[in-house]
Amino acid sequence: MKPNQKYIQIVGDALIPLCGVIFWGWSLYFILLFYFLDMVASEFILHLKSNQIVKSQGDEYKTRWIKYGVISLLSFSLAIIIIHFSMMFIADGIDFKAEAIRFWNYEEMGIKQGLLLIPLVFLVGFMQYRMEFVLPFAFRKANIDFLWKKHVLALLAITALSGFCLALSQFVQLPELVYVLLVVASTSAYKTRFN
């Protein structure tokens, strides 16, 4: 991705949750569900990339793929658990099921988000994978260790931020907007530095 496109995408990714909180009444958890969806799509695409690397560069990379996949799954699970514990203190009395249903049933232009957004996130990720990884034959030279380490590092950063928010919520009750700003700022900083 070209540098200008990268920064435009980062700004766009930051504006959506901020507008959601300020103008559309989205909760912190509602926004986190967007991020969870993006995390699952990224994980899926990384497995597609790993499969291409193994096919192109040899079966010796399969063991690394499995090892990193397990580490990633454990890191992802830990991050999700800590985020949910944090949300219980940040949004007292949160009903996760009701929030998930609200997220799924949210309508934009008369279309339920769950029916449109979920396939769209995976489709965009898949198209980007095809355009940037498959068509230019990037999988022939791609380093599976580099791809997975970058991904696991992101998951560990999410886990650390979640732990920080959990600790912070024990001492002070901050508005959800502060946590949204923290999530958006840290996500933008990570994408600027590592993508």
> Is residue 192 situated within a structural domain?
no
> Is residue 99 situated within a structural domain?
yes
Q: How far apart are CA 66 and CA 58, in angstroms?
A: 14
> Is residue 81 situated within a structural domain?
yes
Contact of 81 with 26, CB cutoff 8 Å: no
With b for 16 or more beta-carbon neighbours within 10 A and e for fewer, the 144-157 pattern comes to beebbeebbebbeb
> Is residue 186 situated within a structural domain?
no
- What pLDDT shows up at residue 1? 54
pLDDT in 10s for each residue of the chain, 195 residues: 566 777 888 888 888 888 889 988 899 999 999 999 999 999 999 999 999 999 999 888 999 999 999 999 999 999 999 999 999 999 989 999 999 999 999 887 777 877 788 888 999 999 999 999 999 999 899 999 999 999 999 999 999 999 999 999 999 999 999 999 999 988 888 778 766
For the chain, the domain total comes to: 1
Give residue 31's domain range.
Answer: 27-180
> Is residue 36 situated within a structural domain?
yes
pTM, whole model, 2 decimals? 0.88
> Is residue 54 situated within a structural domain?
yes
- C-alpha distance across the termini of the chain, in Å: 9
> Is residue 185 situated within a structural domain?
no
> Is residue 189 situated within a structural domain?
no
Helix (H) or strand (E) holding 173: none
